[in-house]
Chains A and B, each alone.
Chain A
Amino acid sequence: DGGITQSPKYLFRKEGQNVTLSCEQNLNHDAMYWYRQDPGQGLRLIYYSQIVNDFQKGDIAEGYSVSREKKESFPLTVTSAQKNPTAFYLCASSKGQGTEKLFFGSGTQLSVL
């Protein structure tokens, strides 16, 4: 079945540690996105990528980094510079941008130990 797979479902980070969230899609989509969801805040865009080897910052990119070395994969690293990382992280993809429907993964809940 085609879709987006996020892993792990739950992740814990220690102080000063970098952690990486995985996002893989087999939909042959060009565009991929990372959103952060906090209660009552909706979804805020962290980074997005429209094509392999290219990505752009979203509204809250500070403390995060991404790479897009393969079309299928768009991992997100939460660095130690992100002082408030506890949140639900959602990855999405679309065939292109604009009117294209976004397909979402089932999310990763990141918590700080």
Chain B
Amino acid sequence: AQSVTQLDSQVPVFEEAPVELRCNYSSSVSVYLFWYVQYPNQGLQLLLKYLSGSTLVKGINGFEAEFNKSQTSFHLRKPSVHISDTAEYFCAVIRNSGNTPLVFGKGTRLSVIA
């Protein structure tokens, strides 16, 4: 079975500073990886996904993530955050064969401080 560990439950950061949200996964088979964002009292939106090819994936709102197979990681980064980036971020994994639903991590709450 696949699993996801998000290493930080909360990350406070000052506005315009860089941020990295960490995600590690566990799987005995090849996987696809995703980052979703949830703004307060809303559903989730897809930020970016890694399926194959280049290990550096660019998403919406200036976010990017790098797939590292040897370290089984898929960390999310942004070089300069805005107040509007305050939200909860979820890493998710799915195996790349068969029809199985996404498995989500427990989330990281990013708080951007003015």
Footprint of B on A, CB under 8 Å? 4, 33, 35, 40-45, 48, 50, 58, 90, 92, 96-99, 101-102, 104-107
The verdict on B78 contacting chain A, using a C-beta distance below 8 Å, is: no
The verdict on B110 contacting chain A, using a C-beta distance below 8 Å, is: no
Q: B residues within 8 A CB of A58?
A: 101
Are A97 and B43 in contact (CB-based, < 8 A)?
A: no
Q: Quick one: closest A residue to B51, CB to CB?
A: A99
- B11-52: CB near A (< 8 Å → 1, else 0) gives 000000000000000000000100010000111111001010
Q: A residues within 8 A CB of B94?
A: 97-99
Tell me whether A105 and B90 are in contact in the complex, defined as CB-CB below 8 angstroms, given that A43-B104, A98-B96, A99-B51 are known contacts. no
Q: Which one of B42, B49, B101 contacts A99 once the chains associate, using CB atoms below 8 Å?
A: B49
Q: Quick one: closest A residue to B9, CB to CB?
A: A40
Alpha-carbon distance between A102 and B32 when the two chains are bound, in angstroms? 14
Are A42 and B106 in contact (CB-based, < 8 A)?
A: yes
The verdict on B102 contacting chain A, using a C-beta distance below 8 Å, is: yes
Are B46 and A102 in contact (CB-based, < 8 A)?
A: yes
Q: Which one of B44, B96, B100, B107 contacts A90 once the chains associate, using CB atoms below 8 Å?
A: B44
